[in-house]
Amino acid sequence: MLRRKRASSAASRPWTMGVEFPSLNIRMHEVSKRFGRNWIIKQKSEEYVSGRIYGVRGRNGSGKSTLIRLLAGHLSPSRGNISYTLDDRTLPVDQLYRHLSWIGPYFEIVEELTVYEFLSFHFALKPLLPHLSVSEVVTRIGLEKASGYALTDCSSGMRQRVLLASALYAATPLLLLDEPTVTLDADSAEWFQGELKIYTKDRLTLIASNDERDLIPCDTIDVL
């Protein structure tokens, strides 16, 4: 749930428009995860707090996506536990989805929908930040001329912008971004960096990537 704040300078906080996120924190305690006989993550303990950007780097198969899935509540640990707090109150994992925006290269997109239809449908389920409209989101991702295009007719980079928009502009305190620029060209990756600076303030953000550019804004980087 978002909370209204007293009016502040639009120049200093242009994106919040008088709204702040609740504090969402995550604690991992001796978490291990295995698939069959293979242990992908072993006895990992970590604490992630609101207002910071965490990076996760590692070779292919090192467990970056597995870690993201664990933190999203999509996978359960084989050993250990993960706990969540929202404004210092315990948040059950089955309620985490209400406060989470998550994208990754394994996500499927409904390609029959147009850019505008997909975003409208998504933000009917996951509310937008209060100061934005779907039309404004389309403009922010630079696809106003392609808003009526079916996603199947869009390039992979255009579709990735749409997915990034679904996470960045949602009114959620937790952002999990797995390989966020995997199909973006240099200009689009630069656009992403700019939006990340604006739209991660007061949120807990985790970025899993092997692209050094993606990890530039991170406060800390974990190597798996």
- The CATH number of the domain holding residue 27 is 3.40.50.300
Name the percent of the chain lying above pLDDT 70. Answer: 92
Q: What's the CA gap between 204 and 150, in Å, rounded? A: 32
pLDDT for 18 beyond 80 = no
Is 209 contained in some domain? Answer: yes
In the predicted model, what is the mean pLDDT of residues 13-39? 84
In the predicted model, what is the mean pLDDT of residues 12-38? 82
Note the pLDDT tens digit of each residue in 38-72: 999 999 999 999 999 999 999 888 999 999 999 99
* Closest to 24 measured CA to CA, from 129, 176, 169: 176
pLDDT for 135 beyond 50 = yes
pLDDT of residue 24: 98
Q: What's the CA gap between 28 and 162, in Å, rounded? A: 31
pLDDT of residue 158: 97
First to last CA, the chain: 33
In the predicted model, what is the mean pLDDT of residues 15-28? 79
Q: Is 62 exposed, middle or buried (0-12, 13-18, 19+ CB in 10 A)?
A: middle
Based on the structure, what is the number of domains in the chain? 1
224: three-class secondary structure by DSSP? coil
Q: CA dist 186 to 12, 78, 214, Å?
A: 28, 39, 12
pLDDT for 204 beyond 80 = yes
Is 159 contained in some domain? Answer: yes
Rounded to two decimals, the pTM is 0.90
Is 5 contained in some domain? Answer: no
Q: Average pLDDT of the chain?
A: 92
Amino acid at 83: S
**Three-state SS sequence of 102-123:** EECCCCCCCCCCEHHHHHHHHH
Query: Which residues fall within 8 angstroms of residue 224, CB to CB, at 6 or more apart?
Result: 41, 56, 57, 58, 62, 63, 64, 67
Is 69 contained in some domain? Answer: yes
Q: How sure is the predictor about 20, in pLDDT bands with cuts at 50, 70 and 90?
A: confident
Q: What's the CA gap between 130 and 102, in Å, rounded? A: 19
Q: How many CA atoms lie within 13 A of 57 on its CB side?
A: 13
Is 132 contained in some domain? Answer: yes
Is 7 contained in some domain? Answer: no
Is 175 contained in some domain? Answer: yes
56: three-class secondary structure by DSSP? strand
Please give the torsion angle defined by the CA atoms of residues 94, 95, 98 and 101, in that order, rounded to the nearest 10 degrees. -50
In which order are the strands placed within the sheet that holds 89-90?
Answer: 38-48, 24-35, 79-86, 89-90
Domain span at 201: 21-223
Is 9 contained in some domain? Answer: no
